[in-house]
Structure 1
Amino acid sequence: MSENVEWVNLASVEEIPQPGAIKVDVDDLIICLAKDSNGVIHALDDTCTHAAVSLSEGEVDDDGIECWLHGSKFNYETGKPMSLPAMQPVNVYPTKIDGSAVFVGIPA
């Protein structure tokens, strides 16, 4: 992410199931915080680009999250769909952990 970001505390590590995901609203964004089986936390837009449903309700894998409605899977690092029917990526956001606080870099 080349733009400046504002680091916002969106959750605690304990709030996110492992593996699993939660939805968090911040400003005009709806963010999916997903924790993979290794405990790594990822942040991406919560809305599937194919059918506009919540990704946080989908299945979490170690390399991406799968939309529960039609099965499109999105890569945590790039936001690109790894399977059809989605063809457009979702935005991804940097994360950092401070103690048990999960911070996400939101575009400034």
Structure 2
Amino acid sequence: MSEQFACNVSDLKPGTLVQSYLTAADGSEVAVAVARSDDGEFYAINDICSHGEVSLAEGEIIGCEVECWAHGARFDLRTGEATELPAIDPVDAYPVHIDGERVLVDVDNPITSGIKENA
């Protein structure tokens, strides 16, 4: 699979997030938080906080980051990088394509992977 429909552009006002479930090529379901920043840019990251295992789509957008509602961890919407404790592990960030009114996300080709590699 490649790009999949995640939501409509009109579903996301600037500064908001929605949760979407997409199917990866291996058949697994991937929970995705689709975000529209205050400046109108669209982003998609794995919806599950790497610290508290709760939905990031329920969090708040602050600049180009999403703040987890449970413990205040923050993640960069562009890269998935954990930017605020208590989270230290990143989450996957996915490519987003706007096709008219449709927001498409590719969960099979992450921009960055949330898997930390040992140095």
Q: What is the TM-score with the length of structure 1 in the denominator?
A: 0.91
Counterpart position of 1:48: 49
Q: Once the two structures are superposed, what CA deviation does each residue of 1:6-26 show, in whole Å capped at 9, x if it has no partner?
A: 011111100113211000011
Q: Which amino acid aligns with 1:19?
A: G
Match of 1:22 in 2: 18
Partner in structure 2 of residue 6 of structure 1: 2
Distance in structure 2 (CA, Å) of the matches to 1:16 and 1:102? 10
Match of 1:101 in 2: 102
Please name the residue that 2:64 is paired with.
Answer: 63
Q: Which has the higher relative contact order, 1 or 2, with Cα contacts under 8 A spaced 6 or more apart?
A: 1
Letter in 1 for 2:39: N
> Which structure has more strand as a fraction of its residues?
1
- For residues 13-49 of structure 1, give each alpha carbon's deviation from its aligned partner in whole angstroms, at most 9, with x where no partner exists: 0011321100001121000001111111100000100
Percentage of pairs with the same residue: 32
The answer for the alignment partner of 1:83 in structure 2 is: 84
Give 5+ residue unaligned stretches, structure 1.
none
Q: Structure 1 CA distance, aligned partners of 2:68 and 2:37? A: 15
Shift of 1:76: 1.3
Moved more, 13-22 or 45-54: 13-22
How many residues end up aligned between the 2 structures?
104
For residue 43 of structure 1, give the secondary structure of its aligned residue in structure 2: strand
3-state DSSP class of the match of 2:57? helix
